Amino acid sequence: MEKKKKVIIGLSGGVDSSVAAYLLLKQGYDVEGVFMRNWDSATNFDIHGNPTVFDEVCEQERDYQDAYLVSQKLGIKLHRVDFIDDYWDRVFTYFLDEYKKNRTPNPDILCNNEIKFKAFVDYAKRFNYDYIAMGHYAQIDHSTGKPILKRAKDLNKDQTYFLSQLQTEQLKDVIFPIGDLEKKQVRELALEAGLATATKKDSTGICFIGERHFSEFLSNYLPAQKGDMRRLDGTYIKEHYGLMNYTIGQRKGLGIGGTKESTDAWYVVGKDLKTNTLYVEPDGQHPHLYSNSALITEVVWRKERVDGPMTAKFRYRQPDQDVHVKFINDNEILVTYPQGIHSVTPGQACVFYQGDVCVGSGFIQTAYFDGKERLYS
């Protein structure tokens, strides 16, 4: 009798990874689960290593209990592993460094690169696996012998944006069992299998922050430096509570009521790190919010590097944007979009597509309008 192929799956305690494990068993794989603990959920530490205890406790412990219930229902082993130090060194330190530079980072992308598809893989090697699996909404085409990352069937849940920095080598032994399913189907399968996570609410935001107010959380690591909030013409509005707490295009949380000039909502249209000035205007479509080119750095590319037209996303859930790509070198791309795009923000990912194939990505270094740098950092 042929030995079953072994799959090690990241079991997070959510419905998606639960159903992924269920489907792998139905397909005849030998499955074992691993629950990853990436953050000390009871106690956090400031940048100097001093403990900072919060009243709100992250959901990680509850997630572990749910993952355990699912593993018991499916009859598979569940291993628990701490990646707390790895997460701090490889993800959270980068997260803080980006904020120090007045950029808006995306830690979920780095978490996939450094934890789920590096630290996790290194840990899983002890089980002599054939494949690694995750409950991501994405697909991998292995038919050509070289893995091709493709969008999920459920475009509303597609997670290729967050997987876009993975190297081809990292994808070669990976399976995404729910990539060809709609979310509704995943819920139905979970109910059919009697899984404890069938009706569990989807997690949102960054796991180590949980339900905490983001600016309060960040202030434990990076003390805010107050400064001027002004209009682009220099008119003083009020004091801001730290540039790192604002992002380009932001409307909520500015604390600006109606003024003599306007009763409209106000928006962040620029940030100047040198003068510690936050620029705002009462217009969500203000011209300063638009750029028509950007420098993309830290590029990962999984196809032949050829200049030309394709589509891109400058933030998650953004509709595909028509762009033109010009490679400056292996690590940098100048991307142009004459139609103009709103809030192209330094630190965020720019993810490139050819049809359903995610060909690569990089991080937005600088946004320009007609060759002039926008005051976004």
**pLDDT tens digits, residue range 250-261?**
998 898 865 555
One-letter identity of residue 21: A
Residue 1 class from Cβ within 10 Å (0-12 exposed, 13-18 middle, 19+ buried)?
A: exposed
**pLDDT tens digits, residue range 191-243?**
999 999 999 998 766 655 555 566 777 777 888 889 999 999 999 999 999 99
Give the per-residue pLDDT at 39: 77
- Residue 111 annotated among the catalytic residues of the structure: yes
Give the per-residue pLDDT at 112: 93
pLDDT value at 377 more than 90: no
**pLDDT tens digits, residue range 313-338?**
999 999 999 999 999 999 999 999 99
Q: In sequence order, what are the beta bridge partners of 133?
A: 9, 175
pLDDT top residue among 210 and 146 = 146
Average pLDDT of the chain to the nearest whole number: 90
- Residue 340 — pLDDT band, cuts 50, 70, 90? very high
pTM of the model: 0.89
Identify the active-site residue in 58, 207, 350, 358.
207
One-letter identity of residue 172: K
- Distance of alpha carbon 181 from alpha carbon 155, whole angstroms: 10
- Distance of alpha carbon 236 from alpha carbon 228, whole angstroms: 7
Give the per-residue pLDDT at 95: 87
Return the percentage of the chain with pLDDT > 90, whole number.
72
Give the per-residue pLDDT at 12: 94
Give the per-residue pLDDT at 290: 97
Give the per-residue pLDDT at 36: 93
pLDDT value at 45 more than 80: no
Average pLDDT over residues 263-273: 89
Residues 6+ apart with CB under 8 A from 135: 9, 10, 12, 14, 16, 17, 18, 19, 20, 176, 177, 178
Question: What structural domains does the chain harbor?
Answer: 6-214 (3.40.50.620), 224-281 (2.30.30.280), 289-373 (2.40.30.10)
- Residue 358 annotated among the catalytic residues of the structure: no
